[in-house]
């Protein structure tokens, strides 16, 4: 029973008990929009130390957040989108935006998280299992950008403003630091493996991550962010069978999320956010339909 129906029932009950018609006029609840555009932004590492197509300075990142606030946009979690699609009475803000970070860099915890708290903005971070808490590449010990720990992931998740999700356990490899028969730079089938082996590998990778999420974050990973955005029909089908409710790519564009249409949660497109993206350009992206 929704609120409006409850009020009408109460009003009717009142008229029975007093014998006096007691009609109170209540405004109809606002209709729930059945589809909402959710422009989705892709950040990675935040730093002043160097610049590439996947980094942004702390100053520009804060400017982006300020632009989002000043223009009336509301950042939402992946879970908010899932709820909107699956729950009849769930709403999304008319001017929604989805902020995402890939890879789980320590700078997300040290720089982005305090800024997001300061502005009370929500964001989503997809982590690479083998890199959690590490500043050296697995096996070879080659130095890499530091990543936050599981304790820090839990702290962010418990704040309610950050959603932690899955960016593979070990299918985001650096080819030049790997050896062996199978080098997986992304989560799609390799040309030198059978479909059967691939399906098993993807399922195992997901289940390894699921165990980490269950043990430390006390939840299932329900969203999968494709390394380098690479996906196929086969990978999509496997994830759907595993119960993944949303997949994220790097394809450029906006997303129309539709109530009652789970398909609108798959292959989510994103705008790459880096030092090349001014606040004016960000605003332009947010307005594209
Ligand atoms: Zn990545």
State in Å: Cα 247 to ligand 1 middle. 14
Above 80 in pLDDT, residue 156?
Answer: yes
Q: What is the pLDDT of residue 21?
A: 57
Task: Give the Å distance between the CA of 23 and the centre of ligand 1.
Answer: 59
CA of 262 to the centre of ligand 1 (A): 24
Helix (H, G, I), strand (E, B) or coil at 224: strand
Separation of CA 103 and ligand 1 centre (Å): 5
Tell whether the model's pLDDT for residue 174 goes beyond 70.
Answer: yes
- Separation of CA 9 and ligand 1 centre (Å): 53
126 Cα to the center of ligand 1, angstroms = 8
Mean pLDDT of 53-77: 98
The pLDDT value recorded for residue 180 is 82
Ligand 1 centroid distance, CA of 224 (Å): 11
Cα 73 to ligand 1 centroid, rounded to whole Å: 26
- Using the mean position of ligand 1's atoms as its centre, give its distance from the Cα of residue 27 in Å: 48
Residue 169: partners with Cβ closer than 8 Å, 6 or more residues away: 128, 129, 130, 205, 206, 208, 209, 212
pLDDT in tens, 181-228: 889 999 999 999 999 999 999 999 999 999 999 999 999 999 999 999
Q: pLDDT band at residue 20, thresholds of 50, 70 and 90? A: low
Give the Å distance between the CA of 43 and the centre of ligand 1. 10
pLDDT score recorded for residue 10: 47
Average pLDDT over all residues of the chain: 93
> What is the pLDDT at residue 155?
98
Cα of 18 vs centre of ligand 1, distance in Å, is 66
Residues with Cβ within 8 Å of 225's Cβ and at least 6 positions away in sequence, in order, are 100, 102, 126, 165, 166, 167, 247, 248
Domain boundaries along the sequence of the chain? 1-30, 32-287
Of residues 60 and 140, more confidence is placed in: 60
Query: Which region among 87-96, 178-187, 261-270 has the lowest average model confidence (pLDDT)?
Result: 178-187
What predicted TM-score, i.e. pTM, was given to this entire model? 0.90
* Three-class HEC string of the chain: CCHHHHHHHHHHHHHHHHCCCCCCCCCCCCCCCCEEECCEEEECEECCCCCCCCEECHHHHHHHHHHHHHCCCEECCHHHHHHHHHCCCCCCCCCEEEEEEEECEHHHHHHHHHHHHHHCCCEEEEECHHHCCCCECCCCCCECCCECCHHHHHHHHHCCCEEEEECCCCCCCCHHHCCCCCCCCCCCCCCCCCHHHHHHHHHHHHHHHHHHHHHHHCCCCCEEECHHHCCCHHHHHHHHHCCCCEEECCCCCCCEEECCCHHHHCCECCEECCCCCCHHHHHHHHHCC
Residue with tokens 């030049």: 176
CATH topology of domain 32-287: TIM Barrel (3.20.20)
Q: What is the pLDDT of residue 15?
A: 47
Query: Is the model's pLDDT at 168 over the cut of 80?
Result: yes
Give pLDDT tens digits for 89-137.
999 999 999 999 999 999 999 999 999 999 999 999 999 999 999 999 9
Q: What is the pLDDT of residue 88?
A: 95
Residue 289: its pLDDT value, please?
Answer: 87
Q: How confident is the model at residue 19 (pLDDT cuts 50, 70, 90)?
A: low
Going from the Cα of 242 to the center of ligand 1, the distance in angstroms, rounded, reads: 21
CA 226 / ligand 1 centre spacing (Å): 8
pLDDT: which is higher, 12 or 24: 24
Q: What band does 7 get if pLDDT is binned at 50, 70 and 90? A: very low
Please report which confidence band the pLDDT of residue 2 belongs to, taking 50, 70 and 90 as the band edges.
low
Cα–ligand 1 centroid distance for 91 (angstroms): 30
**130-153 per-position pLDDT tens digit:** 999 999 999 889 999 999 999 999
Distance 54 CA to ligand 1 centre (A): 10
């Amino acid at each position: 029973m929704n609120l409006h129906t409850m009020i009408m029932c109460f009003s009717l009950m009142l008229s029975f008990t007093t014998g006096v018609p007691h009609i109170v006029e209540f405004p109809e609840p606002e209709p729930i929009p059945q589809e909402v555009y959710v422009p989705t932004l892709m950040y990675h590492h935040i730093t002043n130390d160097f610049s590439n197509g996947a980094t942004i300075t702390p100053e520009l990142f804060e400017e982006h957040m300020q632009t989002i606030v000043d223009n009336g946009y509301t950042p939402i979690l992946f879970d908010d989108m899932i709820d909107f699609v699956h729950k009849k009475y769930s709403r999304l803000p008319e001017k929604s935006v989805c902020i995402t970070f890939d890879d789980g860099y320590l700078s997300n915890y040290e720089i982005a998280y305090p800024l997001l708290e300061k502005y009370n903005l929500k964001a989503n971070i997809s982590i690479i299992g083998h890199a959690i808490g590490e500043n050296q590449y697995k096996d070879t010990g080659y130095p890499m950008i530091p990543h936050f720990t599981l304790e820090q992931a839990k702290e962010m998740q418990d704040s309610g403003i950050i959603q932690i999700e899955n960016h593979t356990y070990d299918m985001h490899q650096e080819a030049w630091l790997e050896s062996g028969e199978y080098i997986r730079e992304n989560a799609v089938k390799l040309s030198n493996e059978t479909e059967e082996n691939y399906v098993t590998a993807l399922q195992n990778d997901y289940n390894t991550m699921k165990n980490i999420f269950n043990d430390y974050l006390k939840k299932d990973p329900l969203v999968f962010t494709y390394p380098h955005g690479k996906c196929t029909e086969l990978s999509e089908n496997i994830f759907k069978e595993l119960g993944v409710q949303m997949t994220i790519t790097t394809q450029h564009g906006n997303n129309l999320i539709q109530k009652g249409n789970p398909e609108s949660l798959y292959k989510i497109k994103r705008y790459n956010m880096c030092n090349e993206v001014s606040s004016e350009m960000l605003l332009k992206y947010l307005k594209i339909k």
